[in-house]
């Protein structure tokens, strides 16, 4: 089972490296959206610092959604998904491997770029560290929850728009606690509560999302 899990992760990463344009599209979208706000708002340090967390988190949320429709669609088109469903290994474990690969491709680059983009808003080092930490906890949740929407809309015409309608309401708690932790760090308040809630959401999503996505995939394949 663990060998199959690691094979799925390695396979998806290898395929992503062969189509680097898809990976770079997500990263460029994130960089451009975050960089436009300081240019549009103007050089007001206090205003930029107050809106930094929300801007970065909204941009990360939207950027992660760009790659959601590709999580299962390519495997569904070439018949790989049916073969995965017929293997003796639990489908939820294989789905978890695809989710982790999706996060490594689309989520981890955003976490790495966030501190550099945060400098445009005049954030202090403590706030930049908190921003990175919240994205490190929150972006896996975006991939986990997004996998359910991607599985439910597999093979549906206009699935990209439908995925957005399904997962955006579920992303709101992650957005609130992620941006709230950075705002609390900037104002000097304790961010431990926000981080604890983000960690709890991550654990809950890691336990339930692969099972829900696997069940949705079986329905879509029937």
pTM of the model: 0.87
Name the residue among 37, 29, 32 with its Cα closest to residue 55: 37
Percentage of the chain modeled with pLDDT above 70:
97
Range in 35-49, 95-109, 127-141 the model is least confident about: 35-49
Give CA 53 to chain center in angstroms.
16
Sign of CA dihedral 168, 169, 174, 179: positive
Helix segments in the chain, DSSP class H: 2-18, 20-41, 45-66, 70-77, 80-86, 91-102, 108-118, 125-152, 159-187, 192-221
Work out how many domains the chain is built from and give that number.
1
Other C-beta atoms lying within 10 Å of the C-beta of residue 184: 19
Q: What is the mean pLDDT of the chain?
A: 85
Q: What is the domain extent for residue 174?
A: 2-221
Which pLDDT belongs to residue 50?
A: 82
Per cent of the chain over pLDDT 90 is: 20
Residue 74 pLDDT > 80 = no
Summarize the confidence of residues 111-121 as an average pLDDT: 87
Is a pLDDT exceeding 70 seen at residue 158?
A: no
Please report the pLDDT score of residue 144 as a whole number: 92
Please check the confidence at residue 201 and state whether its pLDDT lies above 90.
yes
């Amino acid at each position: 089972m663990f060998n199959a899990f690691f094979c799925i992760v390695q396979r998806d990463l290898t395929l992503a490296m062969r189509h680097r344009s898809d990976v770079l599209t997500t990263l460029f979208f994130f960089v451009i959206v975050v960089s436009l706000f300081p240019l549009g708002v103007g050089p007001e340090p206090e205003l930029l610092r107050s809106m930094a967390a929300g801007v970065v988190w909204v941009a990360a949320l939207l950027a992660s959604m760009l790659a959601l429709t590709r999580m299962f669609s390519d495997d569904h088109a070439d018949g790989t998904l049916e073969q995965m469903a017929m293997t003796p290994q639990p489908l939820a474990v294989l789905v978890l491997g695809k989710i982790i690969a999706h996060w490594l491709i689309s989520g981890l680059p955003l976490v790495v770029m966030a501190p550099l983009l945060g400098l445009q808003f005049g954030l202090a080092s403590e706030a930049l560290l908190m921003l990175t930490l919240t994205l490190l906890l929150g972006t896996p949740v975006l991939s986990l929850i997004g996998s359910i929407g991607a599985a439910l809309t597999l093979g549906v015409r206009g699935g990209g728009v439908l995925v957005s309608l399904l997962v955006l309401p579920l992303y709101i708690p992650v957005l609130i606690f992620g941006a709230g932790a950075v705002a609390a760090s900037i104002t000097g308040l304790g961010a431990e509560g926000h981080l604890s809630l983000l960690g709890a959401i991550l654990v809950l999503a890691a336990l339930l999302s692969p099972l829900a996505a696997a069940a949705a995939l079986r329905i879509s394949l029937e």
